[in-house]
Amino acid sequence: MTIAIIAHDGKKAEMVAFAKDHFSIFQNKKINLIATGTTGSHLERAGLEVEKMSSGPMGGDAQIASRIAEGKVDMVIFFRDPLGKHPHEVDVSMLMRLCDVYNIPLATNPAAALRFVQTL
């Protein structure tokens, strides 16, 4: 299983705290983590093994979207900041649309992410 992890800048600390709270699940050898570059760096510093894409504004969201279209992502956890302005919002919308097109579970907040990881 491959889980993509993404967090807007204002949500990175919350994502790291979430990942630490569920460290044993995310470090399961049957789960591969991929992340946008900056989020991935934060997760690595927290002790998780993660494959990093480019940062979101530099195409990381699009790289993950491509993996979704290729059938290589099973779940997306994306802590979004709905109140912030994001220069790469088009990429974010595309990623979310592809989750719908390919029927990929998408958690955009900690409550939904918790429900998803509880099923693992």
CA-wise closest residue to 57 among 104, 30, 90, 84:
90
37 in Cβ contact with 52 (< 8 Å): yes
Domains in the chain, ordered, with CATH? 2-118 (3.40.50.1380)
Which tens digits make up the pLDDT trace of 37-80?
Answer: 999 999 999 999 999 999 988 889 999 999 999 999 999 999 99
Choose the catalytic residue: 61, 74, 81, 100: 61
Helices 110-118 and 12-21 cross at an angle (nearest 10°) of 20
pLDDT confidence band for 27 (50 / 70 / 90): confident
Among this protein's residues, is 74 annotated catalytic? no
H/E stretch holding 4? strand 2-7
What end-to-end distance do the CA atoms of the chain give, in Å? 10
Q: Find the Cα–Cα–Cα–Cα dihedral 104, 110, 112, 117, rounded to 10°.
A: 70
Show Cβ contacts of residue 13 under 8 Å, excluding neighbours closer than 6 positions. Answer: none
78 in Cβ contact with 107 (< 8 Å): yes
pTM for the whole structure: 0.93
Which tens digits make up the pLDDT trace of 108-117?
Answer: 999 999 999 9
